[in-house]
Chain A
Amino acid sequence: MKLTRRNFLAWAGIAATGAIACDLFDDELRVQSPVDIPEDLVSGRDNWYATYDASVPGGQGILVRVMEGRAKKVRGNPRFPTNQGKQSPAADAILQSLYHPDRIAGPMLRNGPRGAGQFRPISWEEALNRFNAAVAERGDRMLLITEPRPGAFARICDSFADAFGGRHLAFDTVDDSAYRHAVKDIMGSDGQPYHDIANAETLVSFGSDFLSTWGNPTAYSVAYGKFRSGHRGRHVHFDPRYSMTAANADKWLPIAPGAEGYAALALAWTLIEMGLAEGDVARLTNGQGAAALNAFRPDAVAGALQIPDAALDGATVAQFFAELASKLAHGGLAMGGGGAAGAYSNGRFNASAALALNYLLGNVGQPGGLLPAPDTPIPGGIDARPAPLSDWQGVASDIAAGATRLVIVHNADPVYGLPARVGLADALSNEAVAIISASPFIDETTAMADLLIPDRAALESWGDDLPDPMPGHTVYAVQQPVVNPLSDLDPRSFPDVLLNAAADLGQGASMPADSHEALIRSNIEDELGADFTEALQNGGWWNENSAGSAPPPASGLLANVAALAAPAAANGTGEFQLLPYPHHTVLDGRNAHLPWAQSTPDPITTVVWQTWVDINEQQGRRMGLREGDVVQITGPNGSITALVYLNPGMPPGIAAVPMGGGRRSGSAYATDRDARESSNVMSILAAAQVDGSGGLAWSGNRCSITPAGDSMAVAKLEGDYTSREIGEHSAELVFKSVSEEGSH
């Protein structure tokens, strides 16, 4: 729906005043003709409520269609500044998590061995008594593990942990700490900067899959659509994996895993050498000019980049970089270095190089450039960012040493998401640790709990968020309950459980408010000075005149970044680089129980429901592999099995495996496939850190691939026969070369 703000208001007005959607208005009935389709008669009144979905990368403002107390449909909120009325691929799956058959109906107590998943229902009274008793007894050795969620939620969790002398850590399987560190070092902010793709002329990106799962992919896709309208920008992407972003780029350059930073600095050298840099070259290089980056001359790093000659259209690496630099000189934007690119031992270098390139292009804070994160408008800001691997390694040893005796977990699954080598699962199997889960579904961590106190689903709950990245200005997102839980469900708001427990245990005064809703209300009214009702109607509060500012670049920034350069270390051995990546819709596994997330074809392979490994088609054939062969993938820490998908785009020597498979506890939608076709790639990774950030180097592993002597049908949308474009036009004609002036 192309809603302008004005006609949206008019529509909202109709719903609010209760327009009656039937023809009794005119004192007549519309009688259905037998040749009409039933859809010609719509009845009933619907309301659209603005709320927020924090479960997708970057978060999204949504409107939920509610009829007779039931949520029916989700659409992007046209007013919300990041996703602008559009939505992430499985946005509607939030409805399936609301009406999921496997939701934990009410509080439960373990009545079997730990981890066996046997629970019996108990009353809320008993559950809360047990909860309070556990906190009273072990609060000073408490660890609260939640999803990363800044705002009121983080503030309540932090206050609760502090009040009893415990700790609060946020968990995210996809550890992006190296990128966050680089942003903090270079731009001084805790939040990510925003890449103004829509207004860029030429975009060069390095290893981050921003059209699928990195940053805010929906907002970046909206911007990408604008980037390809009118002026029709040009996009060049460097990536060792044939990702969705690689597939969409105008030009994809395969590079060696972990060489992203070298590519960025080679471009930087070229820009300076050709005199095309708009930024303050003298400051950025300590007056040395191109000499500061002499080690990164394209011909010097060509060996490290390993770009195949055939990808360069007959040019040398130096010529290709020179051509790209001349394009970038006008309206150029550099992006990436985070996500997969930041998850090598040298991830901080990759991330820093991509960010620093923007200073050289002189686009920081400019339209079409890199927009610094604005200030946090409310207290409790961004300190809820995910904890790096180093913290989780500490947690495992704390539990083993007895320093942690109570673990409370909410919407986080570190037992599943951390490499097995970290030892968290082993540590938690120690019965001396009490485990309480407030997640609404059983997952690998919740399955180990002693007590379940299920939270309400997102569409039944209050919430707020500081989207990360923000779209170049301040945004405060507000989530309101749009429906009540069904009568056969009895969940309770987890933040309110914490607040009530603190009050019962005499710590009420240390908490920021009496209820989650009251805290959000006070954020809106007292901190932002805004109207509560209006913020709910809009889905949040934002200020378009609050652009962030970054300090001027450190002098010698490029020289400093160059000093970080190091080749990516390889953990383990084998002829393949193992590149895990978040599944397009199942993500890191958090959506594995949602049928719409599982049944949405992967954009590149079209595979559904299964775990596959992408192997270069020619290489796979040489190894005697066929599609659907079950192979054993042996990484630094054990092996998994997966089905072969022979991918004509994947570089030889890369084994790319989506995250999110191999769940063994919880809903049948997540668990009913066996290990051959559903496995957890994170489990076999080395527990190796990114240098200088403590994050997990999840891209930096080697593996070997051997046939397991079995094969299975691959469930996918594409046909089994080589396909030609439908239409009179063969594929080559359907895609038209257009000159630089743009397109119609």
Chain B
Amino acid sequence: MVVDLDKCTGCQACVVACQAENNIPINTKDYFLQRRAYEWIRIERYWEGEYPNVKARFMPVLCQHCENAPCEPVCPVYATYHNEEGLNVQVYNRCVGTRYCINNCPYQVRMFNYWHPNWPHRMENQLNPDVTVRSRGITEKCTFCVQRIRRGEIQVEARAGQRLDDNRIAAGNYDPACVQACPTSALMFGDLNEPNTAIKPYFDDVNNYPGHHEHERETRGYRLLEEMNTRPSVIYLKKVDQYPLADKGAH
């Protein structure tokens, strides 16, 4: 995935789309007060500068699907692992709720089910049958909408009249809920195993100039917490600033 910070307006369409797609429980006021709200993708808002030279910056943060995922080796029951497609997946049936993965994730994108999920009468009719409702006591997080990948594969297979192997679904046949919703197209998604996806040049550029070579990059691409070498599958593109602030105090 590629996230263009220059286009994100902080509108939250991705956040709600993800909640509707992935059977995320209703975030009550109490969940927020306890800092236990479930948002598989969230918009972080940073302040830069002071009035009148002030900028609110928006950054969508979701599971980075790291190639070297720090959450994976610490799980005692292998509930989180890497599949062949490069997704960091969570097997709910295996998760025993140690929360080691949550502690080890530097991006704070893993959420624990402190409560039994509840939907009021009638609202359960909206639940997506392709997505498990997670029970109390287990960990959950962004899946890159794996159920949509599977459904896309099945539909492409049906159209082609033959089985495809899992790596072969062409770009454009599926988008995660957040990417589809994003009005400004700040979120872009593609399969890096496909040679011609639009996001590949950004990955190539960032991979070609790792670490301290980042200033040589041709694109605005960078990874979050790059120095930890987690190798996220999400690349961020820097904001374009036409009126840079003279005094750039961030807080």
Q: Which residues of A contact B (CB under 8 A)?
A: 1-4, 7, 10-11, 14, 19-22, 25-26, 34-44, 67, 70-76, 83, 85-93, 95-96, 98-101, 103, 211-212, 217-218, 221-222, 224-225, 228-229, 232, 234, 242, 244, 247-248, 250-252, 254, 308, 310-311, 313, 486, 488, 584-585, 595-596, 599-601, 603-604, 606, 608-610, 616-618, 648-652, 673, 713, 715-719, 722-732, 734-738, 743-744
Residues 90-125 of chain B, each 1 if its beta carbon lies under 8 Å from chain A, else 0:
111110000000000011000000000000111111
With A92-B20, A228-B6, A736-B240 already in contact, the answer to whether A72 and B13 are too (CB < 8 A) is no
* Cα distance, A617 to B51, chains bound together (Å): 9
Q: Give the bracket for the number of chain B residues in contact with chain A.
A: 35 or more
Find the residue from B130, B158, B179 having the highest chain A CB count within 10 A: B130
- Nearest CB in chain B: distance from A661 CB, A: 13
Which 10 pairs between the two chains have the least Cβ-Cβ distance? A225-B184, A731-B250, A221-B183, A92-B20, A732-B248, A735-B239, A603-B10, A311-B52, A736-B238, A19-B158
* Residue B68 at the chain A interface, CB threshold 8 Å: no
Contact of A648 among B54, B241, B248 (CB under 8 A): B54
A212-B11, A234-B242, A724-B251 given; name 6 further pairs at CB < 8 Å.
A1-B180, A42-B151, A89-B16, A224-B7, A244-B10, A731-B48
Q: Closest approach, in angstroms, between the C-beta of B162 and any C-beta of chain A?
A: 9
Q: Which residues of chain B are near A67, meaning CB under 8 Å?
A: 129
CB distance from B235 to the nearest CB of A (A): 12
User: Are B53 and A39 interface neighbours, CB within 8 A?
Assistant: no
Residue pair A486, B26 in contact (C-beta under 8 Å):
no
Looking across the interface, which residue of chain A has its beta carbon closest to that of B81?
A35
Interface string of B193-220 (1 = CB under 8 A from A): 0000000000000000000000000111
User: Does B150 have its Cβ within 8 Å of any Cβ on chain A?
Assistant: yes
Chain B positions within 8 Å of A606 at CB level: 45
On whether A737 and B54 interact (CB within 8 A), knowing A37-B91, A39-B150, the answer reads: no
B15 near A600 (CB under 8 angstroms)?
yes
* Beta-carbon contact of B159 and A596 below 8 Å: no
Asked if B62 is an interface residue, CB under 8 A from chain A, the answer is: no
| Chain B residues at the A interface, C-beta cutoff of 8 Å | 4-7, 9-13, 15-17, 19-21, 26-29, 32-33, 35, 37, 39, 42-59, 61, 78, 81, 89-94, 106-107, 120-132, 143, 146-147, 150-151, 154-155, 157-159, 163, 171-175, 177, 179-186, 218-220, 222, 224-227, 236, 238-246, 248, 250-251
Flag if A34 contacts B10 (CB, 8 Å).
no
Which listed residue, A22, A313, A601, touches B243 by the CB 8 Å rule? A313
Across the interface, B158 reaches (CB within 8 A) one of A25, A71, A608, A673, namely A25
Asked if residues B9 and A218 are in contact (CB atoms below 8 Å), the reply is: no
Residues of B within 8 A of A719 (CB): 35
Rounded to whole angstroms, the CA-CA distance of A101 and B9 in the bound complex is 33
- The complex places the Cα of A734 from the Cα of B184 at a distance, in Å, of 20
A649's nearest neighbour on chain B, judged by CB, is: B54
Consensus secondary structure, chain A interface:
loop
* Inter-chain contacts of B10 with A (CB < 8 A): 244, 247-248, 603-604
A21 & B155 in contact (Cβ 8 Å cutoff) = yes
Residues in chain B near residue A85, CB distance under 8 A:
180
Asked whether, in the complex, the Cβ of A40 is within 8 Å of the Cβ of B13, the reply is no
21 CB < 8 A contacts A-B = A19-B159, A35-B91, A39-B146, A40-B150, A75-B180, A83-B183, A87-B13, A101-B120, A218-B183, A224-B183, A244-B9, A247-B10, A250-B241, A715-B33, A717-B39, A718-B45, A725-B46, A728-B225, A731-B48, A732-B48, A735-B57
Give the CA-CA distance A533 to B125 in the complex, in Å. Answer: 28
Are B37 and A37 in contact (CB-based, < 8 A)?
A: no
Smallest CB-CB separation from A721: which chain B residue?
Answer: B251
Nearest B residue to A44, CB-CB:
B129
Q: Determine how close the nearest CB of chain B comes to the CB of A743; give it in whole angstroms.
A: 5
Chain B neighbourhood of A584, CB < 8 A: 11-12
CA separation between A724 and B46, bound complex, in Å?
7
- In the complex, what distance in Å separates the CA atom of A36 from the CA atom of B145? 15
Report yes or no: A715 in contact with B32, Cβ–Cβ below 8 A: yes
Q: Which A residues are CB-close (under 8 A) to B46?
A: 723-725, 731
Q: Do A74 and B20 have beta carbons less than 8 Å apart?
A: yes
Nearest chain B CB to A210 CB, angstrom units: 10
B86 to chain A, nearest CB (A): 14
Give A240 to B228 CA distance when docked, in angstroms: 42
A85 to B180, CA, bound (A): 8
A734 touches B52 (CB 8 A): no
Nearest residue, chain A, Cβ from B91: A37
Task: List chain A residues, Cβ under 8 A from B55.
Answer: 247, 735
Pick from A11, A218, A651, A735: contact of B5, CB below 8 A.
A735
Residue from the list B11, B56, B151 in contact with A221, Cβ < 8 A? B11
Report Cα–Cα, A1/B185, bound state, in Å: 11
A309 to chain B, nearest CB (A): 9
Q: Which residue of A lies closest to B220 (CB)?
A: A736
Known: A25-B158, A725-B250, A729-B222. A717 touches B32 (CB 8 A): yes
Q: Do the beta carbons of A731 and B238 come within 8 Å of each other?
A: no
